[in-house]
Amino acid sequence: MFVSKAETAAQRVEQEIRKAIVTLEFLPGTPLSEKELAERFGVSRQPVREALIALARAELVETRPRRGTRVSRISADRMRQQRFVRESLEVAVVRRACESFDPDVRRRIDAILDAQEVHAEAHAHYLFQREDQAFHAALAEGAGYPTAWEALTDIKAHLDRVCHLTLPVPETLPLLVRQHRAVMAAIDARDADAAEAAMRAHLAEILQALPEVEKTYGYLFMRPELDR
């Protein structure tokens, strides 16, 4: 299938803006100028416009008449609903993984977990987050359902914004590594109930942290007085 240069540029710009939103380089509420983004990424306005349309579909940005485009604020209610969807899919994945798991992917996961240990010790938050995504993607691939993780791309982007606020807490990264290893230990033992319990405990972290994060970073969350 032919892919035009404009489409390729739009996809690249979308990924760069998405990364900036997820890592909070572009904070919730930040205005986004097509002109400034085009200059930043060295493209015309058309790829930027297409990228923003795609990000609006993912609800990461919003455009209002006479207000322009800005980064969407974090919605605690949306977070809870999206976490529920993610948990439903990932629990199904680990239960299936206990029935059959690709041995090559299993070996790759060992390398991913080792990399997570290194990044946790170095407090390298962004690199850890990248390996976290690799871990969950590999889980779905090893279980034979890679599209399960692909289906969560937009949902995870919203959750990752809050995760990014919790990663600097010293004990967070080592805890996540231990939880990942617990999931894999249950899969290796072919214990579906233990794998499900480990995954639910892992994904519960974000909701447990949400009230304190919302209290500390209230200006990043959706509020009537901020969205007038």
69 — phi, psi (to 5°)? Answer: -105, 140
Task: Encode pLDDT of 67-120 as tens digits.
Answer: 899 999 999 998 899 999 999 999 999 999 999 999 999 999 999 999 999 999
Look at residue 223 and tell me whether its pLDDT is greater than 90: no
8 A C-beta contact, residue 195 and residue 95: yes
% of the chain residues with pLDDT over 70? 95
Examine the pLDDT at 1 and tell me if it is beyond 80.
no
Q: Look at residue 95 in the predicted model and tell me its pLDDT.
A: 98
Confidence of residue 31 (pLDDT cuts 50, 70, 90): very high
Taking only the tens place, the pLDDT of each residue in 129-164 is: 899 999 999 999 999 999 999 999 888 888 889 888
Confidence label for 227 from pLDDT (cuts 50, 70 and 90): low
Rounded distance between C-alpha atoms, residue 144 and residue 100, angstroms: 8
Cβ(86)–Cβ(203) below 8 Å: yes
Q: Can you tell me which residue has the tokens 């299993």?
A: 106
Query: Is a pLDDT exceeding 80 seen at residue 2?
Result: no
Least confident range of 46-60, 66-80, 181-195, 212-226 = 212-226
